Structures are given as structure tokens and as C-alpha cells.
Amino acid sequence: MFTKECPRCNRTLPVSEFNGRPNPDWGKRYNHKTPIWTDTRCRDCTKAVTKLRIKVMKARREGRLKAPDRCSHCQQIGRIHGHHEDYYKPFDIIWLCVSCHSNVHHGNITLNA
């Protein structure tokens, strides 16, 4: 039985609790632990995130939520993403440019809360 830890809820769950598809590289180049690729987050968390995205999108469409034109990390002006540190707080949003946003998710930068 393969298990995986969900970084969102910190539970260790069987991989069947994650959305997954066959891992074509299993046993090959990398030392992948499981024979399937899975979403990082468990199914429950994925659901929570999807719900939240819809909420935020709706709020933005209705003008209740306005994205600034500047990244709150590097102050660059451009396309701004809403980043959530906590998906259960849909309106606690950190506005980041595309590159800072991916850096945050890859652990290259940390945001001081």
C-alpha cells in the first residue's frame, strides 16, 4: 500500500485518496516512490481549493474583490495572482506576480506574514 502525505492537511493517506494517473517514469530514472503520479493535495483538499477558487473568481467578477496591479513581494507591476496561504480563508489573499507566485510554491521564497 502506497501512502502519501498531503501538505495541506498533513494527513498521511493512501494514494487512492489523491487524484492520480499512472506514473510513466516509475522505476526508471528517478526513484519515484509510487507507481502513480498524484495531485499534491488529497481529494478533500482539492475539493476545498476548487470551491474556494470559484468563490474568489465570483467575487472578482462582481467587483467585490479587486486585485492590485503590483506584486506585494517584489513590487513589480504586471499580471497579479492571488495566493492563499490558507485555503480555508478564501479572502486572505496575498497578491503576487506570476514569478513570485511560482517561487512561493516551489519554496524558493517565503513570505513574511
Applying CB under 5 A, the residues found at the interface with Zn ion are 6, 8-9, 42, 45, 71, 73-74, 76, 83, 97, 100
Cβ-based nearer residue to Zn ion, 25 or 108 = 108
Please state the closest distance from residue 32 (CB atom) to Zn ion, in A.
Answer: 20
Cβ-based nearer residue to Zn ion, 64 or 74 = 74
Q: Are 68 and 80 in contact (CB under 8 A)?
A: yes
Tell me how long the chain is. Answer: 113
Cβ-based nearer residue to Zn ion, 25 or 85 = 85
Q: Are 72 and 113 in contact (CB under 8 A)?
A: no
